[in-house]
Amino acid sequence: MSGSTLHTIMMPVRGDGRGPVLFAHAAALAKRFGAHVKVVHCHPRTEDLMPKGVVIPSFLRKQIEEASESSAHSEEDFLHGKFAVDATKHGVAEQGPELHKATAKFYEYTGKQVEAVRYYGRLSDLICVAKPSRKENLGYNTLKEALFYSGRPVMVCTESDQVDMTIGKHVAIGWNGSLEATRAVALAMPLIETAEKVTILTGGSPEHSATPEEFRDYLAARGVTADIGKFDVQGVAGRQLLKKTGDVGADLLIMGAYHESYERESLLGGNSAAVVEEATIPVVMVH
């Protein structure tokens, strides 16, 4: 029997067209857990738009402020309208949080999106972010902020808004006994405990840490029955983890992320970076 749940899900939005994709994932989980979705739109502070180290005449500053405010209101109205349509489409009530009911509300934040992720994310049980786009160089800062500065699990969503309402029916857990993997299990336990099937995926032999078999026993003590799938690590382990996840038929992957620094893994193509880049199913990551 499940002993934990999700109460609050946070998702940041901006005018990049990814809002419906994020909301589809968040709504599926909200309906499953009776959770509240915080849809957070950010618009920049006026001072963030001013050139650094340049003296700006008062009349020009006023024009920039007025243009910024007008643009922010216009984008807010547009995205709020899109959100209302999506809420109706997915059967989620547009209102404040209500226990055991799938709800969602549009919030406006003045500042940078990374700041909003930190502000709202720390009081959420899960943060949904878009899969970063290398082509557009978009989404990497948001993912990094959510992973390293929220203290919460982060779901990197797929690029489609056609999301199965049973998302997380079969959960795969990447286990190597690391601190990051341990945190991922602890923070994503609601998803693990409510899954119909759980598979522990492991490559190699963890040294000085819990084995997959010991981890399976730990889950069993919580009433979770899990299988173990092993693979030989050759090349990039993250890429092999994704392949094994597909082989066992899981629709959600939970894993620890960025054991090395974010910059090092991103630059050199580490395991976490490979998963972020190549995953075709939602991945819940915890640093």
* Domain boundaries defined on the chain: 8-156, 170-286
**CA gap 245, 174 in Å, rounded:** 9
Quote the Cα angle for 43-48-54, to 5°: 150
Query: Contact at 8 Å (CB) between 127 and 121?
Result: yes
Q: Indicate the CATH number for domain 170-286.
A: 3.40.50.620
Q: Which residue, among 126, 150, 151, has the nearest Cα to 6 in the 3D structure?
A: 126
Residue 275 has pLDDT above 60, yes or no: yes
Residue 264 has pLDDT above 90, yes or no: no
Q: What pLDDT, in 10s, does the model give residues 103-134?
A: 999 999 998 889 999 999 999 999 999 999 87
**CA gap 212, 206 in Å, rounded:** 9
Same fold, 8-156 and 170-286: yes
Radius of gyration of the chain (CA): 20
Give the pLDDT score at 61. 72
pTM for the model stands at 0.89
Residue 268 has pLDDT above 80, yes or no: no
Q: For the residues 142-159, what does the mean pLDDT come to? A: 95
Q: What pLDDT, in 10s, does the model give residues 58-95?
A: 877 777 777 767 776 788 899 999 999 999 999 999 99
Q: What pLDDT, in 10s, does the model give residues 171-192?
A: 999 999 989 999 999 999 999 9
**CA gap 255, 244 in Å, rounded:** 13
Q: Which residue, among 79, 89, 101, has the nearest Cα to 24 in the 3D structure?
A: 89
CATH topology of domain 8-156: Rossmann fold (3.40.50)
Q: What pLDDT, in 10s, does the model give residues 131-146?
A: 998 777 788 999 999 9
**CA gap 24, 168 in Å, rounded:** 14
